[in-house]
């Protein structure tokens, strides 16, 4: 079956970053029996697409630097010493939302209380339409369904990943189309979304205090202090804002800088100007959640009026993002240059 994006894609594949070294060969290897697709750059693992029935959504996990250092948290799939163990629904990289016709696709995990299960939803992998490597990039195209725990399928998803690498740079372009099926679909106003990464302990912000947050159900979520850990991360926003002050701000990109072991690292998310909600809000928490949210408004600023986004039956919305991983702490100007290369 040909990729759905062969005919419906709205965006051409964005160019890679300006290259000081040659692009590297990318392999995309299916392991259907294991519900996994591995991605290798120059023969070295970069990431895997995981879709086992035990997960509530497909994820990319782990995401590695060019030297093989994970920038994603190990917990809950493969806990590493020192890992934070809060928010078990934060797994690698994912793309979903916390209020879709009132159902929560964001916060669902095996730890979800039984009383909340009727209001949850999962993203169910339905097919792989393309998995191909190449001399300078690899591509994975997949389909999935957004299914509520009441048994209703709200959305059909078509996603195309494009993987690239050169030198110490790795990129993931994700183009995702959501199509409403036989009923209108409304994305409500909540901070719980959407294009997310849960980062390694070292990329968390140091904190001398235990932090408590309130989720959309009014429940308290506690995150342990990290001052006695290797946490040394720092967010950098488009406008130059740094640290945990970036939460709830808007901008076309966000970077997270830190050192893992002895390796300097930049992890960035780019929001394409054609995306709904551009420039996106950033649900970027110091404890390790790094997410772009195109739907929230009042969820970030209670002084604002609530907003919503509605898809009529048969209508679609397309998002295009890039994840950048580089073994270097980039300056604001360097991240901006990389972003401009993405949007050209």
216-225: long-range contacts, CB 8 A cutoff, minimum separation 24: 216/98, 216/99, 216/104, 216/190, 216/191, 216/192, 216/299, 217/116, 221/86, 221/87, 222/86, 223/84, 223/86, 223/287, 224/84, 224/86
Residues with Cβ within 8 Å of 228's Cβ and at least 6 positions away in sequence, in order, are: none
Domain ranges for the chain, please list them: 23-343
Confidence (pTM):
0.90
Rounded Cα distance, 175 and 187, in Å: 19
The one-digit pLDDT tens for each residue of the chain (344 residues) are: 333 333 233 333 344 444 457 999 999 999 999 999 999 999 999 999 999 999 999 999 999 999 999 999 999 999 998 888 999 999 999 999 999 999 999 999 999 999 999 999 999 999 999 999 999 999 999 999 999 999 999 999 999 999 999 999 999 999 999 999 999 999 999 999 999 999 999 999 987 667 554 444 545 556 666 555 789 999 999 999 999 999 999 999 999 999 999 999 999 999 999 999 999 999 999 999 999 999 999 999 999 999 999 999 999 999 999 999 999 999 999 999 999 999 99
CATH code linked to domain 23-343: 2.70.98
Cα four-point dihedral sign 296, 251, 248, 65: positive
């Amino acid at each position: 079956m040909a990729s759905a994006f062969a005919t419906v894609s709205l965006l051409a594949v964005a160019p890679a970053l300006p290259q000081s070294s040659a692009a590297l060969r990318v392999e995309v290897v299916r392991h259907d029996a294991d519900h996994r697709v591995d991605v290798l750059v120059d023969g070295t693992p970069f990431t895997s697409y995981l879709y086992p029935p035990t997960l509530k959504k497909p994820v990319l996990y782990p995401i590695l630097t060019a030297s093989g250092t994970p920038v994603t948290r190990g917990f809950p799939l493969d806990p590493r010493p020192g890992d934070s163990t809060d928010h078990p629904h934060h797994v690698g990289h994912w793309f979903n939302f916390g209020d879709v016709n009132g159902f929560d696709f964001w916060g669902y995990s095996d730890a979800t209380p039984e009383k909340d299960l009727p209001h949850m939803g999962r993203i169910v992998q339905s097919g792989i339409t393309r998995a191909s490597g190449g001399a300078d990039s690899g591509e994975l195209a997949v389909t999935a369904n957004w299914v509520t725990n009441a048994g209703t399928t709200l959305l059909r998803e078509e996603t195309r990943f494009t993987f690239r690498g050169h030198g110490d740079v790795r990129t993931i372009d994700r183009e995702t189309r959501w199509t409403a099926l036989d009923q209108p679909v409304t994305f409500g106003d909540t901070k719980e979304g959407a294009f997310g990464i849960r980062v390694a302990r070292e990329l968390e912000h140091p904190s001398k205090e235990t932090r408590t947050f309130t989720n959309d159900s009014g429940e308290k979520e506690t995150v342990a202090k990290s001052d006695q850990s290797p946490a040394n991360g720092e967010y950098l926003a488009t406008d130059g804002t740094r640290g945990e002050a970036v939460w709830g701000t808007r901008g076309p990109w966000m970077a997270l800088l830190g050192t893992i072991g002895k390796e300097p690292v930049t992890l960035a998310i780019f929001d394409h100007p054609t995306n709904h909600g551009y420039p996106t809000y950033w649900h970027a928490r110091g404890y390790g959640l790094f997410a772009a949210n195109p739907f929230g408004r009042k969820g970030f600023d209670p002084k604002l009026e609530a907003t919503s986004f509605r898809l009529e039956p048969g209508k679609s919305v397309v998002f295009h993002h890039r994840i950048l991983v580089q073994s270097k702490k980039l300056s604001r100007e360097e991240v901006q240059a990389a972003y401009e290369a993405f949007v050209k």
